[in-house]
Amino acid sequence: MRLINLRSRTRPEVQMSPLIDVVFLLLIFYAVTTQFVTDERLKLKLPEARTAESEGIGREESPPEVKVAADGTVWINDVIVPEDQLEAQMRALVEKAPDKAVILKGDRDADYGVVVKVLDTARSGRRSSGDTCRRRNHEGTKTRRRRTRRRRSVAASQRRSFATSQRRNVATTKARRHEDVAHEDVAASQRRKREGAKTLRRRTRGRRTKSRRSVASAKARRR
């Protein structure tokens, strides 16, 4: 039987490197996921609604936010706006992106009249921007119609000028043909006159020759 010497056994040790790695990874995770900077410039007590639905707004292009504080001040994108500049700022905000939504957040203790005023200003700005877009579209349609009419009128004038030139060419060709026919008729009549004159001259010569011959034969008979 072999006996084991208890004194020769090694003591157990705790390995600290895996524990250090785990702690380091936890520190990195909390450092990345923790939000250190919070916007505490304007704190609102928003009323809660049970039937609220998320609209799925993307993080990259967040719509502008208009906040109404409890003291009646209005903030647009975390910038306070004076009351006399509210309408101009809202119209400029709506005209920048007429198809984009504007989020209105009102404090639970804010004056309801200020919230309604901000809402009416946003709606009026959207209506004015919509009217501007419609006017621009209407003007663009009018401009396109004018251009189309001008093109059609230019094409019609070109067609008329081409038809006029064709008629002029046809009339000139007909006139030349008539002139050629008239010249040919004149030349033919002149030829006929010359031939008639020659025929008359031949007949006259023949008659004179016959008369001379008859006179000569009569003299010969008398002798």
The reported pLDDT for the residue numbered 2 is 55
Residue 193, CA distances (Å) to 134, 183, 186, 200 in order? 87, 15, 10, 10
**Under a CB-based contact definition with an 8 Å cutoff, are residues 81 and 74 in contact?**
yes
**Under a CB-based contact definition with an 8 Å cutoff, are residues 66 and 76 in contact?**
yes
**Under a CB-based contact definition with an 8 Å cutoff, are residues 90 and 122 in contact?**
yes
What distance in Å separates the CA atoms of residue 203 and residue 80, rounded to the nearest whole number?
130
DSSP 110: S
**How many Cα atoms occupy the beta-carbon half-sphere of 174 within 13 Å?**
6
**For residue 65, how many other CB atoms are within 10 A of its CB?**
13
What distance in Å separates the CA atoms of residue 83 and residue 81, rounded to the nearest whole number?
7
What distance in Å separates the CA atoms of residue 28 and residue 48, rounded to the nearest whole number?
35
Q: Write the pLDDT tens digit of every residue in 26-55.
A: 988 888 887 655 554 556 566 666 655 544
SS (H, E, C) 179-203: HHHHHHHHHHHHHHHHHHHHHHHHH
**Under a CB-based contact definition with an 8 Å cutoff, are residues 70 and 45 in contact?**
yes
The reported pLDDT for the residue numbered 132 is 65
Q: Tokens at residue 64, please?
A: 């502008």
The reported pLDDT for the residue numbered 60 is 47
Burial class (CB in 10 A: 0-12, 13-18, 19+), 110: buried
DSSP 7: G
Query: Beta strands of 23-157 (E only): which ranges?
Result: 65-68, 74-76, 79-81, 103-106
**Under a CB-based contact definition with an 8 Å cutoff, are residues 101 and 64 in contact?**
no
- Using 70 as the pLDDT threshold, list the residues of the chain that sit under it: 1-12, 35-62, 97-100, 125-133, 223
